[in-house]
Amino acid sequence: MIHRTGILGGTFDPVHNGHLALAAAAGNVCDLSEVVLLPAAVPPHKATKDITKFSHRAAMLTLAVRDNPLFYVSTIEELLPSPSYTIDTLQYLRIHSAGASQFYFITGADAFLDILSWHKYEDVLMASHFIVFSRNGCKNKKLNKLLLFLNYKKQTNNWWYNQKSRKSIYTSTIALPTVSSSEVRKRISSGKGVDSLVPEEVARYIRDHGLYKA
């Protein structure tokens, strides 16, 4: 039996309900066996920004998923070379996973539309299937154009396939919460509550550790 592993990476500063909804939706789209959530140690596009300590971000993520058997948190990017490139993570997971595992990288259309700027993006596409979530028709048109450029051929409305790499890209327009980590941080720094935006345990952790205050 093929083991399908979803991979959702990010800064998770902090993890919020949108992240969890995205992971759950991906699990349904491709009938995933599990979803690994990977907090980035030093995100390539945010290396110069002020990011909350890795230990805090990983702890909040662990609290957020502890009651969902589909999810688990991996802190391997803290051990890998910095910055946290997707290809390095995928290669590590390939080496340390069972041979029957298939990887499904989960991302939004905004991020995927920039994939040509990713470090060794061609190797990334060779190493993993993708599940890409899009919110509107404009992005869908841009996404379709990019997939054709990358030599993926449309098989069904939401399934594209690359014959050379034998990798698929699945697209979805399912409605997801629009919350963002920056919104959560901004509300906290303004003294507003975030209980509706993050899991209860995460909100408590933020309060207990005094995170994101102005």
User: CA gyration radius for the chain?
Assistant: 17
Structure tokens at 96: 């340390």
Q: Is the pLDDT of residue 159 over 90?
A: yes
Structure tokens at 35: 């979803």
pLDDT tens per residue, range 72-109: 999 998 888 788 789 999 999 988 876 668 999 999 99
Q: What mean pLDDT, rounded, does the chain reach?
A: 91
Q: Is the pLDDT of residue 137 over 60?
A: no
Helix (H, G, I), strand (E, B) or coil at 88: helix
Percent of the chain with pLDDT over 90: 76
Residue boundaries of the structural domains of the chain: 3-178
Which pLDDT does position 13 carry in this prediction?
A: 96
Which pLDDT does position 138 carry in this prediction?
A: 58
Which pLDDT does position 105 carry in this prediction?
A: 98
Q: Is the peptide bond before 199 cis (omega within 30 degrees of 0)?
A: no
Which pLDDT does position 65 carry in this prediction?
A: 96
CATH of domain 3-178: 3.40.50.620
pLDDT tens per residue, range 15-70: 999 999 999 999 999 999 999 999 998 776 665 568 999 999 999 999 999 999 99
Which pLDDT does position 46 carry in this prediction?
A: 62
Q: Is the pLDDT of residue 185 over 90?
A: yes
Tell me the pairing of strands 34-39 and 71-73. parallel
Is the CB of residue 161 less than 8 Å from the CB of residue 174? no
